[in-house]
Structure 1
């Protein structure tokens, strides 16, 4: 075994710089916190716990902008996942996490363990996971390497979720050159529980046991947290030691054992937490901090699958399928018997102690003795310089880009072939979306919908975000991300409840990137207050760069909504001929950052214009009321590709068509992406009542036909497209790109 450096050698050789601990932080730790030189193990613990991924030292000031409470929030940020009241003593639990760097390096395991990690966050709260979602962002499908990464990322998500028996019901997949060197894999999980069973990650009670349960510890994932807290580069592209290896069958056993303990023997349990980023050190130190306790651990007792592991390796390993429990003294054997039934490790590795010290022993020697607060509370928040990007200042002084659409049908066909718009079923067909038999609506709709067994209730869920809008106008782009998520929930007939997020950005030390983060979070926070959807969980993923080139700022919004009567779910496809077709919301000349602009120019430019999200929220609530009054037979929100793409998507998979009068709309506006709009269909006999509820926000534009043609008269141009031909273009685009030898 390689000998660790002495404290003096650490000071001189500065290995901590490779672990994302700065020299200033190291000096502060040794002079102000410890008053001595930290040893090798202690330095590693500080590096992990003070990483951006664990401490949010740069992003905390920005995160405080988010609202995180309302009348339904039972648990906000700070625990494994957020918890929201869904009536009748039940609660929905959800969270999203990023696994970007690991997925870029090793797509299959990176994506798979991303799913595994977020599932543990859910059942650590006492909830049974009932659904998974994802948000995936790749480079263009024009090279073999990216196609392989797409294929293996999707396979990793599918294999892990399918083996766990948890349906993947919704998500988003986009393609843009900015993700070529750093793909994004954001995983979201939703769980359901009785409110009485809510757990917390806390360790308290002198003499109570600290129990390690689950899989053995190996050397995989060491310094995964710091790996995710540094810029990515070609030199780091093969850093597979920081990528974990998952075993979904082991996780399934761990899930059942933990829920058995929580549901049937909660009186034995003080606290429970997933061993996620930074492994044992993060879970144990955070639980001790939460309980205002001291903790002593004997690392010789930690189950290990590799020989001669050092204290540093044991503490920082991010091996999967592991949990840490605080168990009341005297019940250790009782807990062990439960985990024995599932053939899982369950070992007492330490105790809660007096005071607030964090003490580790290994090979009979004390290898760490520091105050818990040094790891969790004394992190130096970093002040950040921010500056408005030059590109935005220049764009504000230029005229807006104006497209020229001479052939509406050809433009619609081309847009339907754009990978971000095109049919993604070749990917999501690899996910079991029906397992557990509670899925009402699966992938391909505005939102996934899960029935709550034994009730008439349902949960709608979605992941959304448009990085191109955020790149061009971060504040408005942040507002649009929340509005788009709310639109997907409303379109399904559900009331939005709350959000989780993954905030994916480049290097925050770049003043322009920190400005993007600050401005977009401000926009999201403003929209969250308007929609009464507090941020109850989530994560920040910074340093998403490759060789100094950052991704577009990509805040992902994961939103969950409540349907009080599952019979009132509204499908996204047209249902019957004769229904009236309405456009909800007003259409403007909004082309900056659109799929139309990207398709026509190969790039995006301009400034995304502000919009009245207060007014949008008002008519969304009116639309939801109309849905609850059974006035709407189908609804679809308008997003990428504008009204033209939304209309086509509503007809795919049906034998119906639309006959529309849009004489006031230009061919260009047909593809405008003005936010907050919907297309809905209404039975002919219910038109008057619908129009009374929606007022001037609803415009009658035509009716549903049984012709299987999309016909529309626009200003100066007309459209007459066969839906079968359009659907063929939409369905075949991605399979053709994936099969291409390029």
Structure 2
């Protein structure tokens, strides 16, 4: 191995030749370090960029789409919301508390970089089986890390999603969604458009933590990964809170002309991308960078991923005003250079030029062509026989309700402050989506969804099902879907079978979003989620966060059964997206008392959840359910989408059914809210009859009991 290969272990031979050709010379140590970081899969999207362009990105409310730190949706009345999703998978597998906390910090900076205030967090999480002590340790510490960071910065965690599967034993997935709120005329973009403007680094000082973090996230985990803790960044939520307030004050004063967070790739990523977006260059002197460790080399300064740092671009005439605001908040800062018009990223260390390259060359890695092949396992799954009908349906329902993938999530969300900011209307556990109050009189619903098992069984239709589930959650809350962000998480893209499943997810998203006319305004791709020792990849894991808007007059709709004697209706549709607006109109017509989408565990589990939350029983007949099967287990437990359960007053039932049938949506009355038992019958024969308290006990205790034995 040559010295050059040692310096740039994550660059391919083709990338090395490309760099030498473009620069017309051999890059030096600092330049190789910069290229290794910025051209990593984590920063460059070199394997996914061409496919991501297939997704619909435009819409009447979209102000900013993919390519920036967050997407922006126009709410009207001068208000906007920003939305982004990030992950910290590899760091969380090594240091679950710190990795999860810095994952929150990173996505909060993305929202702040647009000049908007972070107002809500959601956390989709995936771990291995809770039977294993390692997975329990990861789970417990990830939840604590998310809760501690979010609580300290005063941003509520209002929702999330959780899945356990053996494929995540080594590679847990820790995603964080952040929602921001701001004024349209105060938006700031990650663009340095004006030569002569000053470049500031604001917030924490620069250390050796997080060095090569982007490269670490762009390769598979191995036994040696446990020794790479220097690649895990150190969180400081108290500084982050100061950054939020100081930056927003500077934005409100009109002092910030461009802004970008410093995350993966550190200064290399931040400086090259903000210059390339603006069509400019930069001259930077690392002598002025605030460091907290002696003897840091220029290459370390350029790729350090120390947390709680932002790049601000300001006019020279506004520097004194900016300094006053930062001093007021006792926040560290330094002017490290200025914007130039030549498009060159020039890095000095005192009088010595340590790196010089076109900003666009650094920012835009060459694409990595990938081959794809349908996985052989799918043919075997297609030949698998159907399982037999369970003998005891009561026990089947109780087993489903107590399974980690279905049971109550209260153990998680009670560790989070989900009411700080006093915007939360529907809280975790109360409904299918979180619902937040907006300053323009409207309300907003937001949800996250994923299902790796279905995406594994059928990468295309499994992804369609995830999108359908996310949209169903919004509709069940009375909201109209307006945008999504996605996080696509897979194994090694160099494996043709892995890459094929990724391409199928993109194809599914393109088809579904075009059909329902909802844009994808941003997202994230995370590859290399596999164990290099045994070549075991995670199951395909697309995660969707969907955003919807509600009229202020729409009543609060949660998923708890409300009143004895109310009718229970089932609503289903065959094709994704059809009838969503008609159902939404029914909800907004003040005729629905409760609503819940049918998802994991099917009809039986969804109705049981409504009963538990409302502390009321029900009786349901399976005879009138719109279905293409007579198998009792499929009627009870099928997860066919999209379908809903509605509770309505008896006087309103005929109106709802008439409206849905006019729209050619299958719908039927199937039962009543009644008594204190969960009862399903077919042709008057009882299939399931279980006391509500037994149902509730099975559903509510799993996570708490499991984590009590966590190491």
TM normalised by structure 2 equals 0.96
- Which of 25, 50, 55 aligns to 2:44? It is 55
2:627 corresponds to: none
Maintained 8 Å contact 1:417/1:730: yes
Maintained 8 Å contact 1:296/1:350: yes
Matched, 1:116 2:84: no
Matched, 1:14 2:5: yes
2:705 corresponds to: 736
**Superposed displacement of residue 399, structure 1:** 4.9
Matched, 1:441 2:426: yes
1:246 corresponds to: 235
SS in 1 for 2:159: strand
Matched, 1:162 2:131: no
In the alignment, the residues of structure 1 paired with residue 695 and residue 709 of structure 2 have an alpha-carbon distance, to the nearest angstrom, of 21
In the alignment, the residues of structure 2 paired with residue 418 and residue 741 of structure 1 have an alpha-carbon distance, to the nearest angstrom, of 17
Maintained 8 Å contact 1:470/1:476: yes
**Superposed displacement of residue 567, structure 1:** 4.4
Maintained 8 Å contact 1:563/1:569: no
- Which of 679, 690, 700 aligns to 1:721? It is 690
Matched, 1:334 2:321: yes
Matched, 1:459 2:444: yes
| Cα shift readout 1:683-739 (whole Å, capped 9, x = no counterpart) | 11111211111115211101112x121112126652111111111111112222222
Matches within 5 A, 1:161-240: 161-240=150-229
| Cα shift readout 1:492-534 (whole Å, capped 9, x = no counterpart) | 1111110111111000000000000000111012111222221
Maintained 8 Å contact 1:405/1:667: no
1:676 corresponds to: 642
- Which of 535, 551, 556 aligns to 2:543? It is 556
| Cα shift readout 1:546-597 (whole Å, capped 9, x = no counterpart) | 13210001010011111112542311111111211011116xxxxxxxxxxx
Maintained 8 Å contact 1:478/1:522: no
1:364 corresponds to: 351
SS in 1 for 2:342: coil
- Which of 364, 369, 379 aligns to 1:383? It is 369
**Superposed displacement of residue 384, structure 1:** 0.8
1:595 corresponds to: none
Matched, 1:392 2:378: yes
**Superposed displacement of residue 618, structure 1:** 2.0
**Superposed displacement of residue 249, structure 1:** 0.8
1:405 corresponds to: 390
| Cα shift readout 1:620-678 (whole Å, capped 9, x = no counterpart) | 22111100111111000111111110010001132311111113654312011111111
- Which of 16, 28, 45 aligns to 1:26? It is 16
**Superposed displacement of residue 350, structure 1:** 0.3
Q: Name the stretch that deviates more: 141-150 or 660-669.
A: 660-669
In the alignment, the residues of structure 2 paired with residue 470 and residue 55 of structure 1 have an alpha-carbon distance, to the nearest angstrom, of 25
**Superposed displacement of residue 428, structure 1:** 1.4
2:309 corresponds to: 322
Matched, 1:347 2:334: yes
Matches within 5 A, 1:641-720: 641-663=601-623, 666-669=631-634, 670-695=636-661, 696-705=665-674, 707-714=675-682, 717-720=686-689
| Cα shift readout 1:262-309 (whole Å, capped 9, x = no counterpart) | 112x1x322011111111111111111011111110001001111111
In the alignment, the residues of structure 1 paired with residue 223 and residue 575 of structure 2 have an alpha-carbon distance, to the nearest angstrom, of 43
**Superposed displacement of residue 11, structure 1:** 5.3
**Superposed displacement of residue 163, structure 1:** 0.4
In the alignment, the residues of structure 2 paired with residue 238 and residue 104 of structure 1 have an alpha-carbon distance, to the nearest angstrom, of 12
- Which of 502, 507, 518 aligns to 1:522? It is 507
In the alignment, the residues of structure 2 paired with residue 739 and residue 240 of structure 1 have an alpha-carbon distance, to the nearest angstrom, of 27
**Superposed displacement of residue 364, structure 1:** 2.6
Maintained 8 Å contact 1:403/1:668: no
Maintained 8 Å contact 2:40/2:215: yes
| Cα shift readout 1:50-97 (whole Å, capped 9, x = no counterpart) | 111111111112111211111111110111100011222211111000
Maintained 8 Å contact 1:619/1:697: no
Maintained 8 Å contact 1:17/1:23: no
Maintained 8 Å contact 1:220/1:244: yes
Matched, 1:129 2:118: yes
| Cα shift readout 1:127-150 (whole Å, capped 9, x = no counterpart) | 111110011000011122211111
Matches within 5 A, 1:533-544: 533-544=518-529
In the alignment, the residues of structure 1 paired with residue 399 and residue 257 of structure 2 have an alpha-carbon distance, to the nearest angstrom, of 58
In the alignment, the residues of structure 2 paired with residue 336 and residue 718 of structure 1 have an alpha-carbon distance, to the nearest angstrom, of 71
| Cα shift readout 1:198-221 (whole Å, capped 9, x = no counterpart) | 110011222211111111111111
| Cα shift readout 1:470-512 (whole Å, capped 9, x = no counterpart) | 1111111111111110011111111111011111100000000
TM normalised by structure 1 equals 0.92
**Superposed displacement of residue 346, structure 1:** 2.2
Maintained 8 Å contact 1:661/1:714: yes
Matched, 1:482 2:442: no
**Superposed displacement of residue 373, structure 1:** 1.8
2:587 corresponds to: 627
1:594 corresponds to: none
SS in 1 for 2:471: helix
Maintained 8 Å contact 1:115/1:187: yes
**Superposed displacement of residue 17, structure 1:** 4.7
**Superposed displacement of residue 536, structure 1:** 0.5
In the alignment, the residues of structure 2 paired with residue 490 and residue 300 of structure 1 have an alpha-carbon distance, to the nearest angstrom, of 54
